[in-house]
């Protein structure tokens, strides 16, 4: 399948046609078969009562042959080879066979998952121990090399520096191209994150804030802690080094983007609106970091609906000792991958309250990268708002959920984008969530940023809008039928931009 902008759909998992939905339908069929068997047994009991009915037996004195024929017919219909009692046993056995088949398939999936997780953890731990064993050599050498480079760099003639920068830039491009061409290897490396942290922590390295390299200092802040089973546990562990803080949310009157006053008509419109909003906090505009937007409009049924747009990370280079008031930083990424609360999420709820969203009014959360993580986490929280739909673009949400029954999560993932793979696991197959993986081709470029960028994800969203896959169609149709996507409402669109910052 190809979207209107050339994106090719690679795979679709989950949703109403996913494996889990099929399992649920099989189990529902087993319940139906069992209920039918119960009814057949009841009919057989009725037949037994007929055989000993006093009036029927009394009539046998007048017509013994007719009584015998009637009793034979009742016995045949109830307990005979094709009788309802015999058939009920077959229907009951079919129900049990269906349950057994589903259980065996689920257990096989779980066993495969546990086995792969154990391998990932072991490989990650081995890598961590290997790095730790060589630390006495590579840590001082790297630290010394960085120090020497810093001292000698000003002495290098201008043309020499330019040539060296070109060489480094070219090697960086080659590395990025290799990473985007081997995304599943990145996922496997991320899946071993828990073992890697265990291997490094158990090595007796010189850790702490004064360690020669920042990552080692980060590990030193964690202290003696239990082993980390998986990537989510490792993320929770690392997130403990960051101060969560409290949100400060304030409206920015007069701040808008071109799509602010327009109701989204498609999934592509949602992604393009996110792109416009993300430009508010583009590099070079740190004063606008943490901006989100809330749209509100009333449908033909008189019900108010709301769309909340959540951009992604503003600062990827934040260490625990360099935290500032940025609410969308590396600490928030780690907390969200570990399914921990964040100041970003608390600030989003404050903005929703300030926008006047009522507790029974439907809400769609749309987010890119960290914003998608935050959106998916808020769907599964008890916060007093009726979040029914989530659209994520390039977000590692595998460890979030399970999502509430009846909710809808549409996750867009560009093949070659490493960000949605950093949780180390594929999104689970569930009836509530559809994961659409696509290939944007030239729109994604050759580097990591291009594969994670909005041009690629707008193309993927367009592919979702035009998809013929029944699972994707159900998700998109639900967005339209729930009133989040459609034509411009008669009363227009109310909108507001809010900025969330962190306070100690």
Q: What is the pLDDT of residue 232?
A: 80
Give percent of the chain above pLDDT 90: 44
Q: How far apart are CA 69 and CA 11, in angstroms?
A: 63
Encode pLDDT of 428-447 as tens digits.
889 999 999 999 988 877 78
Q: What is the pLDDT of residue 213?
A: 47
Coil, strand or helix: which one is 298? strand
Say how many CA atoms lie within 13 Å of 38 toward its Cβ: 7
Q: What is the pLDDT of residue 431?
A: 92
385 pLDDT more than 50: yes
- CA proximity to 314, closest of 269, 386, 368: 368
Residue 433 backbone phi and psi in degrees, to 5: -115, 130
60 pLDDT more than 90: no
Encode pLDDT of 79-90 as tens digits.
777 777 777 777
Which residues fall within 8 angstroms of residue 440, CB to CB, at 6 or more apart?
A: 5, 6, 7, 414, 451, 455, 456, 457, 459, 460
51 pLDDT more than 70: no
Strand partners, 497: 293
Structure token digits, residue 294: 């809330």
Q: What is the pLDDT of residue 29?
A: 80
125 vs 401, higher pLDDT = 401
Average of pLDDT values for 416-428? 88
188 pLDDT more than 90: no
297 pLDDT more than 60: yes
Which H or E run includes 412? strand 408-414
116 vs 375, higher pLDDT = 375
Q: Which of 52-56, 191-195, 237-241, 383-387 has the highest mean pLDDT?
A: 383-387
475 pLDDT more than 50: yes
Q: What is the dihedral of CA 15, 19, 21, 23, to 10 degrees?
A: -170
The pTM (predicted TM-score) of the whole model is 0.76
Give percent of the chain above pLDDT 70: 69
Q: Which of 56-65, 109-118, 316-325 has the highest mean pLDDT?
A: 316-325
- CA proximity to 319, closest of 435, 433, 188, 218: 218
């Amino acid at each position: 399948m190809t979207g209107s902008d050339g994106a090719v759909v690679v795979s679709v998992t989950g949703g109403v046609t996913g494996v889990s939905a099929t399992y649920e339908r099989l189990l529902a069929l087993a319940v139906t078969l069992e209920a039918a068997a119960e009814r057949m047994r009841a009919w057989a009991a009725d037949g037994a009562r007929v055989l000993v009915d006093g009036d029927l037996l009394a009539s046998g004195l007048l017509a013994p042959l007719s009584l015998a024929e009637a009793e034979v017919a009742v016995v045949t219909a109830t307990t005979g080879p094709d009788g309802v009692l015999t058939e009920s046993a077959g229907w009951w056995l079919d129900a049990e066979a269906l349950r057994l088949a589903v259980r065996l398939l689920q257990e096989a999936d779980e066993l495969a998952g546990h086995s792969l997780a154990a391998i990932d953890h072991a490989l990650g731990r081995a890598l961590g121990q290997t790095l730790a064993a060589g630390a006495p050599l590579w840590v001082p050498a790297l630290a010394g090399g960085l120090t020497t480079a810093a001292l000698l760099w000003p002495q290098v003639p201008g043309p020499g520096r330019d040539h060296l920068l070109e060489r480094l830039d070219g090697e960086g491009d080659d590395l990025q191209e290799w990473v985007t061409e081997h995304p599943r290897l990145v996922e496997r490396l991320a899946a071993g994150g828990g073992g890697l942290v265990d291997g490094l922590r158990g090595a007796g390295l010189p850790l702490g804030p004064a360690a020669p390299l920042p990552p080692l200092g980060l590990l030193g802040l964690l202290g003696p802690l239990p082993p980390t089973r998986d990537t989510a546990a490792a993320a929770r562990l690392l997130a403990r080094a960051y101060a969560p803080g409290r949100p400060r949310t304030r409206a920015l009157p007069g701040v808008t983007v071109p799509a602010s006053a327009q109701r989204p008509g498609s999934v592509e419109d949602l992604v393009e609106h996110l792109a416009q909003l993300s430009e508010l906090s583009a590099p070079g505009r740190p004063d606008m970091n943490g901006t989100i937007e809330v749209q509100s409009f009333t449908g033909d049924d008189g019900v108010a609906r709301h769309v909340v747009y959540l951009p992604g990370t503003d600062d990827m280079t934040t260490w625990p000792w360099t935290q500032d008031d940025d609410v969308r930083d590396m600490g928030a990424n780690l907390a969200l991958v570990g399914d921990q609360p964040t100041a970003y999420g608390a600030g989003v709820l404050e903005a929703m309250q300030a926008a006047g969203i009522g507790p029974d009014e439907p809400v769609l959360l749309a987010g890119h990268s960290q914003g998608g993580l935050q959106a998916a986490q808020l769907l599964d929280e008890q916060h007093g708002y009726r979040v029914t739909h989530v659209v994520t673009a390039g977000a590692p949400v595998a460890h979030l959920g399970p999502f509430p029954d009846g909710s809808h999560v549409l996750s867009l993932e560009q093949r070659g984008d490493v960000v949605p793979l950093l949780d180390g696991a594929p999104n689970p197959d569930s009836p509530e969530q559809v994961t659409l993986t696509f290939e944007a081709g030239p729109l994604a470029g050759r580097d990591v940023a291009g594969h994670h960028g909005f041009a690629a994800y707008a193309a993927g969203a367009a592919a979702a809008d035009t998809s013929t896959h029944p699972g994707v169609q159900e998700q998109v149709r639900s967005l339209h039928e729930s009133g989040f996507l459609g034509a411009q409402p008669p009363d227009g669109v109310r909108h507001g931009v809010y900025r969330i910052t962190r306070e100690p």
